Amino acid sequence: MALPQRYVRDLSASLVVFLVALPLCMGIALASGAPPAMGLVTGIIGGIVVGSIAGSPLQVSGPAAGLAVLVFEIIHEHGYAGLAPILMIAGVVQLIAGAAKLGRWFRAISPAVIHGMLAGIGLLIVFQQFHVMFDNKPKGSGLANLAAVPGTVMHGLFPLGPSSALEASLMGCFTITVMLLWERFRPEKLKLVPGALLGIAAASITAKLLHLPINHVQVPDSLLDSLSFPKLASFTEINGSAIGSALALALIASAETLLSAAAVANLQPAVKTNYDRELLAQGVGNILCGAVGAIPMTGVIVRSSANVQAGATSRLSAIMHGVWILGTIVLFASVLRAVPTSSLAGVLVLTGLKLVKVKDMRHLSSYGKVPILIYLATLITIVSRDLLTGVLVGVMLSVVALLYNVTRLTIHSEAMPGDNQWQLRFVGSATFVRIPLISAALEKVPANATVRIITDDLSYIDHSCLEMLRDWVDLANRNGSRVVLEQHALENKYWTSKTA
């Protein structure tokens, strides 16, 4: 009996997503400072568990490059054992946020901050994985990795002793070259075949044939052997820093997930998205990842868009991609162990570079200088300090820009032709913080003048400014002035009753 057509489309789409996800799961785990197998475990949970309950059925969840830098920082500060309780706390925060129906609010982060965050993460991944391409260990911060680049290159080209750095770097560059050539010249019929998989396969075969003495991916024979369950002592050592890391993890993972879900919803109108349910599903997935010692997950736009483009019609595709990952690590662990770590690093270097998008800056610049300043401030702070500080700086600058816009008020005060004629034009938003400005403008109006107050361009006025204007108009009229008030922005019962 033949399968229904929609099942056939979902199964074929799941294979495409699996081929995209497999190298990224291992590579992102490597960039996070975790064993590659833990990235695969996250992909399995993201596919089978989260895929079954997700609010965005066509979205694919798993390890994300956007979290790699933060996870690396957490492991560097708290150790790998400290990641599990932090991740489980982050999952609980996501559960609470989803239950409180805050899903849409996580999308209310300024695009300038999001783009700056992704660009900063991209640069950090490039700086970090550049060293892994030479079979070296990355440093603890972005600036340290950047500063060490010349030394890594010199060591690779002119080693002082036995070294595999040059051979490893050649395999990393070979992988990047294959990916770029495939992206440029791939046939239309094979557009869904991922270049990362071809690049890694080509480097793995080449390294095997040439017997290159370079580092390879370490994958255990048994998946159960790779799992590490958190101990009670890990939870008793939770401190303020760990709580802060958990909140940052929850915020960034949720924002990336829901932005990806929104993008998936725009790619196809047929399957609806429940953002709060998606947040709940991500919370469940991250709690499970923490419970088995894996790395965090988010909804990932690259895999999700590949899923949609491959013709997926339901959540079955995301679920089955997790099944294929599980089957691979159980049945073909020896194949995975043939992958050079420098090849995975090459994939991530190219991935990181793609996160720094010039078109994002051009798009933001069309809205003025402020979004570009927020973008650059976020990016620079992430690279020079850390991810959480960078995001907080971006959010704070966005709030400052918002406060400036909602309190911005310009008063054009000028003498008009005629005998003692005066005009005041209010533009912007009149709130209590602008009372000194309003007071100064009113004091400049000469006595016994005919004053025309124009408020057509006033978008908002609060009670305190309204009261001040009412009192000034009453006083001016009593002192011999004649005030003509165009009330388009001021028409309300309060003003009419007080000035009747």
Over residues 298-336, the pLDDT tens digits come to 998 888 888 888 888 899 999 999 999 999 988 888 888
Per the CB < 8 A criterion, the answer to whether 348 and 32 are in contact is no
The phi and psi torsions of 218 (rounded to 5 degrees) equal -100, 110
Which segment of 4-13, 55-64, 89-98, 104-113 scores lowest on mean pLDDT?
104-113
Taking the CA atoms of 237, 243, 245 and 247 in sequence, report the sign of the dihedral they define.
positive
Stated as kind and residue range, the H or E segment containing 71 is helix 65-78
pTM of the model: 0.77
Q: Give the per-residue pLDDT at 222.
A: 79
Q: Give the per-residue pLDDT at 168.
A: 93
Percentage of residues of the chain with pLDDT beyond 90: 33
Within 10 Å of residue 306's Cβ, how many Cβ atoms?
22
Q: Give the per-residue pLDDT at 302.
A: 81
Confidence band for 488, pLDDT divided at 50, 70 and 90? low
The string of DSSP letters for 144-174 reads HHHHTHHHHHHHHHS-SSS--HHHHHHHHHH
Q: Which residues contact 169 (CB under 8 A, 6 or more apart)?
A: 133, 134, 156, 342
The string of pLDDT tens digits covering residues 217-248 is: 888 877 777 788 888 777 877 888 899 999 99
Q: Which residues contact 252 (CB under 8 A, 6 or more apart)?
A: 66, 67, 70, 117, 387, 391
Residue with tokens 């890990």: 234
Q: Give the per-residue pLDDT at 173.
A: 95
Per the CB < 8 A criterion, the answer to whether 271 and 65 are in contact is no
Most confidently predicted of 81-90, 182-191, 346-355, 422-431: 81-90
* CA angle (100, 106, 112) in 5-degree steps: 165
Distances in Å between the Cα of 253 and the Cα atoms of 53, 106, 299 are 17, 10, 8
SS3 457: strand
Encoding tokens for residue 82?
């400290």
**Pairwise pLDDT comparison (377 vs 415), residue with the higher score:** 377
Confidence band for 104, pLDDT divided at 50, 70 and 90? confident
Stated as kind and residue range, the H or E segment containing 298 is strand 298-299
Confidence band for 490, pLDDT divided at 50, 70 and 90? low
The string of pLDDT tens digits covering residues 138-170 is: 887 888 888 999 998 988 888 766 678 899 999
Nearest Cα residue to 370 out of 118, 112, 119: 112
> Do strands 482-486 and 421-430 pair parallel, antiparallel, or not at all (unpaired)?
unpaired
Is the predicted pLDDT of residue 497 greater than 50, yes or no? no
Is the predicted pLDDT of residue 460 greater than 70, yes or no? yes
Cβ density class 6-41: b for 16+ within 10 Å, e for less: eeebbeebbebbbbbbbbbbbbbbbbbbbbbbbbbb
* Distance separating alpha carbons of residues 325 and 45, to the nearest angstrom: 10
Cα 372 to chain centroid, rounded: 17
Question: Which amino acid would we find at residue 297?
Answer: M
Per the CB < 8 A criterion, the answer to whether 472 and 443 are in contact is no
End-to-end CA distance of the chain: 84
Q: Kindly state the average pLDDT of the residues 457-472.
A: 84
* Distance separating alpha carbons of residues 19 and 460, to the nearest angstrom: 54
Q: Kindly state the average pLDDT of the residues 28-51.
A: 93
Distances in Å between the Cα of 211 and the Cα atoms of 164, 199, 201 are 12, 18, 15
Is the predicted pLDDT of residue 342 greater than 70, yes or no? yes
Write down the architecture of domain 408-499 according to CATH. 2-Layer Sandwich (3.30)
Which segment of 16-25, 102-111, 236-245, 268-277 scores lowest on mean pLDDT?
102-111
Nearest Cα residue to 259 out of 378, 113, 150: 113
Nearest Cα residue to 152 out of 162, 142, 137: 137
Stated as kind and residue range, the H or E segment containing 486 is strand 482-486
For the chain, the average pLDDT equals: 86
Q: Which residues contact 120 (CB under 8 A, 6 or more apart)?
A: 378, 379, 380, 381, 382, 383, 387, 390
Q: Kindly state the average pLDDT of the residues 449-468.
A: 85
Residue limits of CATH 3.30.750.24 in the chain = 408-499
Per the CB < 8 A criterion, the answer to whether 45 and 325 are in contact is no
Is the predicted pLDDT of residue 421 greater than 80, yes or no? yes
Q: Give the per-residue pLDDT at 247.
A: 93
